[in-house]
A and B are shown apart, each in its own frame.
Chain A
């Protein structure tokens, strides 16, 4: 994998080829391996290694980017020329800021301090196709024991992310990630579990396989119950997949563009007073680099406190624009928070290390079920899309383990529902939450999020299975 020293050499060579006022080079890539199984066999098994350098040049308010995965001098010279050619034909943008230096990027913190725990684990990086195959074999054995078939993945990755600029900034982050996702299938039912962690030892594929298998067995012969408003219990993966659709809007640029559902709503009680949400890259269950696309240190900050939207995140230039904007007194604190995307871009920034605060009286999933007279337990949501951008109505389906809860017990599997639900409405109706966990789904990014019990969740249709 590319080292920081190699990257520094590439940056020095790149810089020499440029005549721009400023130069920034982003590094990313690594080694990725994934063993995929279905029908109780391994049917796909892949590994790749790739690194890219992405060069941004700036000439007095004009900037552009070019990217290559070749590091020889000729390729670096070409990528610099491409970046400069794209930048030089533009009109100057008065909002473009000089690149940050080390001091500004650190945001007043000790630049040498470690903000986040190490996210690189040698054992994860050392995962082999043989080890993954052996783990899959055990998952298949669980499936066969229950007369089911299984499909899923076991992946491992080691990756780098780095940024160097001509004002002396240099940041480097390495990380590993192992991930297991398991679906168990029977004739008319299925169950699912997914988990990931930088440390492969935190994963327990056998336990996950048993839970997925039990869900499959318990949801066999699903009944059809009518669509309507139900109390739902969303397992953490389901909760994260649906709430993830609102975080693009916690962005200063989205407010300036008037495309955020928070436009005109910051400072108001938008959700129930039991909802507090942070963005916190330093949280021990989070992953990712502690700096943003310009190399700025990611601040940990509250987005929602007791249901009141307190603030949004900012890239450097967005913060400066917002300070000059008429609505500057109505949007909460304005400062560069270290959440910017690599420049140039149209979207500005977004929070990507979401952590839901633990509720005062956390309940286990079992306690939520026990307190429910009639409701629906949801394992997983699927194909979620935004229906209405300001009321934040999203649609989607339940999947892989949907159950009717009656009189405090899981009664039986039911056919899957389509929902059309406002996230504002949903987060105003949360009756109970579990202790937040690191969770992952397929529709949104990983978060630290609780299971949620929600009243009046709006199911509009039932499908055929």
Chain B
């Protein structure tokens, strides 16, 4: 593979590139699903190809192809330079890259069990077992389960001398029970909605999730929601479970801190950000207890944003994003670092695959747990009147990331420190900084989970990326609840 990459780098340099990198990527994935007692889909896929990214005449060009023959690779490299020269027709100044020391390295996701070594029979048997538990509950009208495994091997070489071979594994699993009755569809999901829990791990993740053990409870909750009261509308203290809080972090912290958005590069599609450059180290993003990091290092955990090196060869880093409530950092790249006075990239550039351009993506954007011991039940016990909301059902936020609205699958009204009733269709809404400044309690490390979001969309052409979000259940004071159903 190094030989193939060197063909590309040589041609790019000969054609006038002042910088070039080549990524050869081999991806393999397996997706298994069941629906109502039958296999829904069973598929394997593999994809191999190479991309060449160049700077020529101070502008970017990118070309990619499945053709790894020498002539194919050289044609792709030459095409990347031609595209860069076309880009230079509409430029104002040359692209500047923050310096990065070239490295030669090998890195592999730590894992115990290669997920592709587990037989498909065993996987399907697990899913059908879960399905049986879900449909064993009267009132469940649809049961869906899924298992997903991915392996991505990448060779990254650059004209500056980097030579990095990296292999990443990820796994995901989850299920949903639906109950249709009257004029209402209710559902409950485990461990999370929209595909469950995902991490950069081997098959050991599946064993850790206790999927079968929780199936009956989840199914019973889906049916019970039909008999629950509608979540009240008004202003309440709310407690979010860690998975919902993970998505809240994703949408109202992770996206606004992407420096390409801040600089207007995503204005046509994903949008911009309220976090203009003047807000760095001046904005009170949240209350004093809010500490958020962007951490791609293995020591943070096996998140979908964990890696050895990003896709322009920058080693995994940890950037403090919010420090004791103060906004302290953006997600940056070699191209954008200088705009915030940094002389080095934050190491966040990643691509969906071999044929996509790397761009700034969230790594693991995590809210650090509270330092004092606090369990979820203790947090509930210390709440006079509020709503506990669990598991995301809908999510939406404006294109500058101010106004958001989230719906959850299930809620519990809390009175005098006790859960007094289940409520259905809970939702809450607010303005990002007002919301984070209302946070007054975070559960401690024992309640903290590093969630995976496998479906983050960004860019044109759109790329889907996995991101990680660590969170522990937390309480927010005086939040607007129930707007989603107001007036409908």
Residues of A at the B interface (CB closer than 8 Å) are 32, 34-52, 54, 64-70, 79, 82-83, 85-87, 89-91, 93, 95, 128-130, 132-134, 136-137, 140, 149, 151-153, 155, 181-183, 185, 190, 192, 229, 257-259, 263, 344-346, 382-391, 393, 395-397, 399-400, 416, 418, 420-422, 425, 442, 458, 460-465
**8 pairs of A and B residues whose beta carbons are closest in the complex:** A346-B40, A129-B86, A463-B403, A67-B45, A258-B180, A151-B267, A48-B64, A48-B355
Pick 28 A–B contacts, CB within 8 A, sort by A: A41-B92, A42-B87, A44-B357, A46-B357, A47-B83, A48-B65, A49-B64, A64-B43, A66-B44, A69-B66, A86-B44, A89-B121, A95-B38, A153-B268, A185-B264, A345-B41, A346-B40, A346-B41, A390-B180, A391-B488, A395-B405, A397-B396, A399-B271, A399-B398, A420-B484, A463-B431, A464-B402, A464-B403
Give B59's nearest chain A residue, CB to CB. Answer: A42
Say yes or no: is B33 at the interface (Cβ < 8 Å to chain A).
yes
| CB-CB under 8 A for A65 and B42, given A49-B66, A383-B398, A397-B403 | yes
Question: Contact: B398 with A418, CB < 8 Å?
Answer: yes
Question: Contact: B180 with A90, CB < 8 Å?
Answer: no
Q: Which residues of B contact A68 (CB under 8 A)?
A: 45-47
Instruction: Classify the interface of chain A: helix, strand, loop or mixed.
Output: strand
Task: Write the B33-72 contact mask toward A (1 if CB under 8 angstroms, else 0).
Answer: 1011011111111111101000000011111111100000
| CB-CB under 8 A for A346 and B396, given A38-B268, A185-B264, A185-B267 | no
Q: Which residues of B contact A51 (CB under 8 A)?
A: 66
Contact of B394 among A65, A82, A387 (CB under 8 A): A387
Question: Contact: B488 with A464, CB < 8 Å?
Answer: no
Q: Which residues of A contact B431 (CB under 8 A)?
A: 463-464
Say yes or no: is B390 at the interface (Cβ < 8 Å to chain A).
no
Q: Which residues of A contact B271 (CB under 8 A)?
A: 382, 399
| CB-CB under 8 A for A50 and B397, given A38-B265, A67-B44, A418-B429 | no
Question: Contact: B48 with A129, CB < 8 Å?
Answer: no
Say yes or no: is B141 at the interface (Cβ < 8 Å to chain A).
yes
Give B425's nearest chain A residue, CB to CB. Answer: A388
Contact of A464 among B62, B393, B400 (CB under 8 A): B400
Give CA–CA (A95, B38) in the complex, Å: 10
| CB-CB under 8 A for A388 and B485, given A257-B142, A463-B403 | yes
Give B75's nearest chain A residue, CB to CB. Answer: A49
Question: Contact: A422 with B488, CB < 8 Å?
Answer: yes
Which B residues, 351 to 410, have Cβ-Cβ distances below 8 Å to chain A? Answer: 355-357, 359, 393-400, 402-403, 405, 407
Question: Contact: B264 with A385, CB < 8 Å?
Answer: no
Question: Contact: A66 with B43, CB < 8 Å?
Answer: yes
Give CA–CA (A237, B486) in the complex, Å: 26
Minimum Cβ distance to chain A for residue B123 (Å): 9
Give CA–CA (A190, B63) in the complex, Å: 32
Question: Contact: B87 with A38, CB < 8 Å?
Answer: no
Q: Which residues of A contact B82 (CB under 8 A)?
A: 129
Question: Contact: B44 with A82, CB < 8 Å?
Answer: yes
Question: Contact: B429 with A461, CB < 8 Å?
Answer: yes
Say yes or no: is B107 at the interface (Cβ < 8 Å to chain A).
no
Question: Contact: A46 with B46, CB < 8 Å?
Answer: no
Give CA–CA (A141, B65) in the complex, Å: 33
Give CA–CA (A420, B183) in the complex, Å: 18
Say yes or no: is B101 at the interface (Cβ < 8 Å to chain A).
no
Say yes or no: is B17 at the interface (Cβ < 8 Å to chain A).
no
Question: Contact: A129 with B398, CB < 8 Å?
Answer: no
Contact of A346 among B33, B79, B402 (CB under 8 A): B33
Give CA–CA (A37, B429) in the complex, Å: 33
Question: Contact: B355 with A133, CB < 8 Å?
Answer: no
Say yes or no: is B223 at the interface (Cβ < 8 Å to chain A).
no
Taking residues whose C-beta sits less than 8 angstroms from the other chain, chain B's interface range is: 35 or more
Minimum Cβ distance to chain A for residue B77 (Å): 12
| CB-CB under 8 A for A344 and B39, given A86-B44, A133-B87 | yes
Given contacts A47-B62, A420-B405, 15 further A-B pairs with CB under 8 A are A35-B86, A37-B90, A38-B267, A46-B461, A49-B64, A54-B45, A65-B44, A68-B47, A90-B39, A90-B124, A149-B264, A190-B267, A346-B35, A388-B485, A397-B398
Give CA–CA (A425, B62) in the complex, Å: 47
Q: Which residues of B contact A87 (CB under 8 A)?
A: 42
Question: Contact: B40 with A345, CB < 8 Å?
Answer: yes
Minimum Cβ distance to chain A for residue B306 (Å): 26
Question: Contact: B460 with A36, CB < 8 Å?
Answer: yes
| CB-CB under 8 A for A382 and B399, given A37-B90, A69-B49, A393-B485 | yes
Question: Contact: A69 with B33, CB < 8 Å?
Answer: no
Q: Which residues of A contact B120 (CB under 8 A)?
A: 85-86, 89
Give CA–CA (A463, B399) in the complex, Å: 10
Question: Contact: B396 with A418, CB < 8 Å?
Answer: yes
Question: Contact: B86 with A133, CB < 8 Å?
Answer: yes
Say yes or no: is B184 at the interface (Cβ < 8 Å to chain A).
yes
Q: Which residues of B contact A383 (CB under 8 A)?
A: 396-399
Q: Which residues of B contact A388 (CB under 8 A)?
A: 425, 484-485, 488
Question: Contact: A39 with B65, CB < 8 Å?
Answer: no
Question: Contact: B405 with A418, CB < 8 Å?
Answer: yes
Which residue, of B92, B121, B141, B398, has the highest number of chain A Cβ atoms within 10 A? B398
Q: Which residues of B contact A390 (CB under 8 A)?
A: 180, 183-185
Question: Contact: A38 with B484, CB < 8 Å?
Answer: no
Say yes or no: is B413 at the interface (Cβ < 8 Å to chain A).
no
Give CA–CA (A435, B407) in the complex, Å: 36
Q: Which residues of A contact B396 (CB under 8 A)?
A: 383-385, 395-397, 418
Q: Which residues of B contact A185 (CB under 8 A)?
A: 264, 267
Give CA–CA (A183, B271) in the complex, Å: 10
Say yes or no: is B279 at the interface (Cβ < 8 Å to chain A).
no
| CB-CB under 8 A for A463 and B42, given A149-B264, A181-B268 | no
Give A182's nearest chain B residue, CB to CB. Answer: B268
Q: Which residues of B contact A345 (CB under 8 A)?
A: 40-41
Give B95's nearest chain A residue, CB to CB. Answer: A43
Q: Which residues of B contact A134 (CB under 8 A)?
A: 89
Minimum Cβ distance to chain A for residue B474 (Å): 23
Question: Contact: A50 with B65, CB < 8 Å?
Answer: yes
Minimum Cβ distance to chain A for residue B69 (Å): 11
Give CA–CA (A44, B397) in the complex, Å: 26
Give CA–CA (A382, B401) in the complex, Å: 12
Question: Contact: A45 with B65, CB < 8 Å?
Answer: no
Give CA–CA (A46, B79) in the complex, Å: 10
Say yes or no: is B341 at the interface (Cβ < 8 Å to chain A).
no
Question: Contact: B144 with A43, CB < 8 Å?
Answer: no
Q: Which residues of B contact A344 (CB under 8 A)?
A: 39-43
Minimum Cβ distance to chain A for residue B117 (Å): 13
Question: Contact: B44 with A346, CB < 8 Å?
Answer: no
